[in-house]
Amino acid sequence: MKRLESYVCGGWVAGQGPVTALINPSTDEVIGECGSGGIDMAAALAYARARGGPALRELTFAQRGQILRAMSKVLHGGREELIALAIENGGNTRSDAKFDIDGAIFTLSSYGELGHALGDRKLLVDGEGVQLGRTARFYGEHVLTPRRGVAVHVNAFNFPAWGLAEKAATALLAGMPVVSKPASATAMVAWRMMQIFVDAKVLPDGALSFLCGSAGKLLDSLAGQDVLAFTGSSVTARTLRSGEGVVARSVHVNVEADSLNAAVLAPDVAPGSETWNLFVADVSRDITQKTGQKCTAIRRVMVPESRLADVSEALSARLTSVVVGNPTEESVQMGPLATRAQLDDVKSGIARLARETEALVGGEGEVKPRGVAEGKGCFVAPVVRLARDPRAAASVHEHEVFGPVATICVYSGAAEEAAELVGLGDGGLVASIYSDERDWLRAAVPAMAPLNGRLYLGSEKMASQSPGPGTVMPQLVHGGPGRAGGGEELGGLRGMSLYQQRTALQGDKSLLAAILEPG
C-alpha cells in the first residue's frame, strides 16, 4: 500500500494523524492512503510566495513557457505508468485515463507554446492605449502583472491529471507560484505526476507545491495577493467562497462547479444524416466516458417531439450494448464510479429523477459488471430517463447526477423553447446545439449564449473533426455562469488574467512606451 506525501517548503512531507484511504473502485481493495495532519499550511504558502514567486517573475514568458514544455515532456515520459494508476485508483478505462492524462500533457504544451509566442517580455499590455489630454503627452495604458501571492488550486476527483495541469499551466505562465491540492480519494495520479516533476527538476524551487490530503487550515492563511481556484461541488464552493479570510482579504476566487449541460437537437436534423450521427455519438460518449463523471457531460437532451422515437431507438441501441466492468478487462467499455460515496450519490440521484421521469434505457442503473467479484465495486449501468413534460420535472434541471445518466426533455422544436429549457439549468459550462439550419441557429445562439460558458455547434461540416462538446480546449474558455460557478479558466491569454493585476498607467506617451518595451 502506498503512503502519499505532500511536497511543501521544497521537500516531501508525510502527513500525520487521520488519513483518507485510496480505494480501487473495481475491487474495493485499499491501495493507498493520504493525510495532511501536522503540515504547516501557513509555512507552505509563505514558502511558495517567498521562493517561487520571485523566481517565476524573474523569467520571461518564453522562459516560463519552456518550463511548461518541459513539464509536458516529462509527463509524456511517465504516461503509461500514469494510465495504470488512473485505472487502478480512478476506475478509468484505458481510454478514459488517456483522456485525462493526454489532456494534461496537451494543455501544458499549449501554454508552453503561448509562452513562446509571448516572447522575451515579463509584463503584458492590455488593449490599446488612449490619449487622455489635449495631446499625446498625457496618455493611458493598462498593464497586466503577476499577483505577488500564491495561487491555491483545489481540484475535483474526476480529473486528477488534467485538473492539476490546466490550472498550474495558466498560473505558472502568468508568473504565480502554485499550491495544488487534488481530491484525496483519487490523488494517486496527481501525486505521481508531482514526483515526476520534482525528480526531473523542471521547476524553480517553490514554484509548484502539492498538498495531499485534507485542506485543513490551508485557506485560513490566504492574503490579498493570493488566488483561490476551485473545482468541485457547489456546496463546497459556497463554503470556500464565504471563508472568513477569503472574504476579509478580498482573495481572488474562481469557481468551477456543477453543471446540467444540455444537448439540443434541432428539428431539421434527419435520422441518418451526418449531424444526426454526430449528435447520437456525442450524447452516447458523454454518458459513458469517464462513467459520466465529467463536468462537461451532457445531462439533459432536448429532443423535438417528432424525433423522440428515433432518438430513443438510437440511444438505446448504443447504450444497452456498452460492456460495464473492471477496466483491466480489455472488453470493458465503461468502468465503475470513482468511489462508494459517488455510487451512493448517483443511485440516490437516479431515484430522485425516477420520481419525475420515465425509464428509457438502463432502468435505475442495475448492472452485473464483467470481471468483478459478486458484490464488489462501484458500478452502475448507463441510464437515460425521459421527461415528456420537462417543466414538470424540476430535478432534471436542478440536480446534477454525476454519473452515466442523462434525461431526454421533449420540446416543440422551436429555438426559443429550447433556450427556455436550457435556462432552467440556471447556468451551464457547455450546451451543444445540433443543426444545419442557419435561421434556427441565428435564433438559438444569442438566446443560449448568456446561459453557458461555451456553445458547441454540431453540424455536417465539422462532424468529422469534432471530439465532442465534453472536451475542454485550452484555446477556449472553460467555465460558466450561475450553477456552474461563475468562473472562467483557460482560453489562452484570458485564463491568465485571474493571476494578474490589471493596472491603469497614466503619463507621457513616450515615457510609457519606453517602460513597456519588452526586455
Residues annotated catalytic, as ranges: 256, 295
CB nearer to ligand NAP: give 254 or 435: 254
**Among 121, 139, 181, 151, residue whose Cα is nearest residue 496:** 151
Among 22, 334, 429, 512, binds ligand NAP (CB under 6 A): 429
Determine contact, residues 231/175, Cβ cutoff 8 Å.
no
Query: Using CA of residue 111, residue 107, residue 429, residue 281, what is the dihedral sign?
Result: positive
**Among 146, 181, 136, 130, residue whose Cα is nearest residue 160:** 181
Half-sphere exposure of 112 (CA within 13 A, CB side): 16
**Which range touches ligand NAP (CB under 6 A), out of 85-93, 190-198, 225-233, 379-387?**
225-233
Q: Is 233 a residue that touches ligand NAP (CB under 6 A)? A: yes
CB nearer to ligand NAP: give 35 or 146: 35
8-state DSSP, 16: B
Cα three-residue angle 155-161-166, rounded to 5 degrees: 70
Among 135, 239, 412, 475, binds ligand NAP (CB under 6 A): 239
Assigned C-alpha cell, 57: 517573475
Closest residue to ligand NAP using C-beta atoms? 232
Among 100, 258, 436, 488, binds ligand NAP (CB under 6 A): 258
Query: For ligand NAP, how many residues bind (rule: CB under 6 A)?
Result: 28
Assigned C-alpha cell, 96: 478514459
Q: Is 236 a residue that touches ligand NAP (CB under 6 A)? A: yes
Among 400, 410, 424, 441, binds ligand NAP (CB under 6 A): 400
Find the shortest distance in angstroms from Cβ 122 to ligand NAP: 30
* Whole-number Cα distances in Å, 244 to 170, 239, 251, 363, 392: 26, 10, 10, 45, 39
Find the shortest distance in angstroms from Cβ 296 to ligand NAP: 7
Q: Is 158 a residue that touches ligand NAP (CB under 6 A)? A: yes
Q: Which residue has the cell 518541459?
A: 70
Q: E strands within 232-296?
A: 252-256, 261-265
**Which range touches ligand NAP (CB under 6 A), out of 132-140, 179-187, 370-378, 502-510?**
179-187
CB nearer to ligand NAP: give 69 or 167: 167
CB nearer to ligand NAP: give 230 or 499: 230
Q: E strands within 234-361?
A: 252-256, 261-265, 298-304, 358-361
Q: Is 257 a residue that touches ligand NAP (CB under 6 A)? A: yes
Assigned C-alpha cell, 273: 444524416
Total residues found in the chain within this entry = 519
Among 84, 132, 198, 215, binds ligand NAP (CB under 6 A): 215
Cα-to-chain-centroid distance, residue 317? 30
Assigned C-alpha cell, 513: 512606451
**Which range touches ligand NAP (CB under 6 A), out of 85-93, 110-118, 252-260, 442-450?**
252-260
Binding-site ranges for ligand NAP (CB under 6 A) = 154-158, 181, 183-185, 214-215, 219, 231-233, 236, 239-240, 256-259, 295, 400, 402, 429, 484-485
